[in-house]
Amino acid sequence: MLTSCMLVKDNTPPAITNFTTSSTLLSRTNISFSADVIDTGSGVDSVVFEIDGSPLPTSQKGTSVYVANWYGVYGSHRVTVLAEDRAGNLATKKESFFVADSTPPIVNVEIPKTVAVGVKFPITLKIYDLQSGVESVSMTIDGKNVRLISDTLDWTFSNVGTHKISVTAFNGQGLVTTKNFEISSINAKNVPPYAQCMKWPDVVKSGKSATFTVYAYSPNGIGKVNLKFGNITRTLTVNSDNVYTFVINIPNVGNAVLQATCTVTDGVGIKKTIHEDIMALSKNSTANVIIPKFSVRTAVAKIPFFVGTVSNSVKVSAMIDGIPVNVEGSFPKMFALCHLTPGKHSISVDLNGKVFGNAKFSSFLPPVKIVGISKTSTELIVEFSEKVEAYANPVFELSFGSTSTVLIDKKDVVVKGKTVSFPISTVPTSCSIKAIGLRDIYGRVISSSFKISESAK
């Protein structure tokens, strides 16, 4: 009697259901994605979420639920979940969404801490919003509204005392920032030397001229004001209105970040120095990005880069490992904000949709350590240096004597962020405790041990 069997090929892709995105979609907040993936044929082989075509770290939660997280970036995006079974069948689902601006404008004001009565000084506003733009700015001085024509306002106080300056800015999404400042007006003989960059260029171009305007004041009079930019040095002497303007012909340099340094020397030789980083473009360049060397030793990184362009309309974006990340700062110095896992990464910076800067870097995170042990009447509480999670049984191994051990399972453990607790009734008076089923949020297994008699309080 002969029997035969026929191999039936799996031609059915995995089923993707319950594909969801966080209900709240705001920039600089965690956005989560989730989907149920089931394959009753050959079985699920891999599942990954992509944001704008770049893969996100994806993990499995339970038997069929897959999840990923992303630190939201303002603007329109698309998330895709891709699931492949062991027979090579691929299923995808896509969803477009918009991330709203969650950050109000950045407001900075440059003023002296003290100023002489009757002396004119500048109030310089530095307000920006890279996401939805600055919509309006208002200012009050000692409770009275002040008309703003430009970002620099000349002011004079006629009486000795403390004065209050308040600046309010709205962005295009209606988010508001109000910052308050104080300045003291005192008799002239007590005012220290003061210097302020009034109008300095964000970017200069080789072969062109650039103007640097400095405010400088001292009750002892100004001896000289010196400006150094690259290998160029210029000096001006006393000016009755305390405003010093330098016009410098920029030499033929390559794309670089140069420091402009201004040193004010008053009439008795007391010096005050200020400086700013300025992007210099080569003669044939209209835009460039410079990413200086940097190191990352934290989970949340702030990666610096410099942007220079002659265009008046600039949109800057950055990606880490192809994934969009938030950008903050003001020209020319900016920062890419990201959450990093340990290992090798790449950063790219776009200006108006074109990549101008690339760099590779490594992120090293120190191992998670136990930083504290405490007891209550019912619990033993272990505190770690970073967030942890229980991933396997047992979670802890307790050793006392030469051969005796007690195993603590997940069902008896409570994990809350950086702390893990379990019943004190399971802990011998004196023992060694070893973590064997814990890992950090990046999946690294935690291997820490301690002696309860020495560590617990």
- Segments making up each domain of the chain, as ranges: 15-99, 106-190, 203-215+222-281, 287-363, 370-455
Distance CA 146, CA 375 (A): 59
Assign 193 to helix, strand or coil.
coil
Task: Output the CATH code of domain 106-190.
Answer: 2.60.40.10
Token pair in block for residue 22 = 């966080």
- Whole-number Cα distances in Å, 216 to 80, 121, 264: 57, 9, 7
Is there a common fold for 287-363 and 370-455?
Answer: yes
Assign 409 to helix, strand or coil.
coil
Other beta carbons within 10 Å of 300: 10
State residue 241's pLDDT score: 86
Produce one character per residue of 251-271: b if its CB has 16 or more CB atoms within 10 Å, e if not. eebebbebebebbbbbeeeee
- Whole-number Cα distances in Å, 193 to 14, 96, 260, 274: 72, 56, 19, 12
What is the domain class of 370-455 according to CATH?
Answer: mainly beta
Distance CA 37, CA 85 (A): 10
Which superfamily, per CATH, for 15-99? Immunoglobulins (2.60.40.10)
Other beta carbons within 10 Å of 92: 12
Give the strand pairing for 300-309 and 316-320: unpaired
Query: What is the DSSP code (8-state) at residue 322?
Result: T
- Whole-number Cα distances in Å, 373 to 135, 200, 352, 413, 420: 51, 54, 52, 15, 10
Distance CA 328, CA 128 (A): 9
Assign 355 to helix, strand or coil.
strand
Assign 326 to helix, strand or coil.
strand
State residue 272's pLDDT score: 93
State residue 377's pLDDT score: 87
Cβ atoms of 282 and 203 closer than 8 Å: no
Cβ atoms of 202 and 308 closer than 8 Å: yes
State residue 3's pLDDT score: 57
State residue 453's pLDDT score: 66
Task: Output the CATH code of domain 287-363.
Answer: 2.60.40.10
State residue 165's pLDDT score: 97
pLDDT along the chain (457 residues), means of 10: 62 95 92 95 94 92 91 94 94 96 93 92 93 94 95 94 97 94 90 90 93 94 93 88 93 90 92 93 92 81 90 88 91 88 90 89 84 88 88 87 83 90 85 86 79 59
Cβ atoms of 38 and 14 closer than 8 Å: yes
- Whole-number Cα distances in Å, 167 to 113, 148, 151: 16, 11, 12
Assign 57 to helix, strand or coil.
coil
Fold (topology level) of 203-215+222-281? Immunoglobulin-like (2.60.40)
Assign 359 to helix, strand or coil.
strand
Distance CA 317, CA 131 (A): 10
**What is 194-234 written as a DSSP string?**
EEEEEE--SEEETTSEEEEEEEEE-TT-EEEEEEEETTEEE
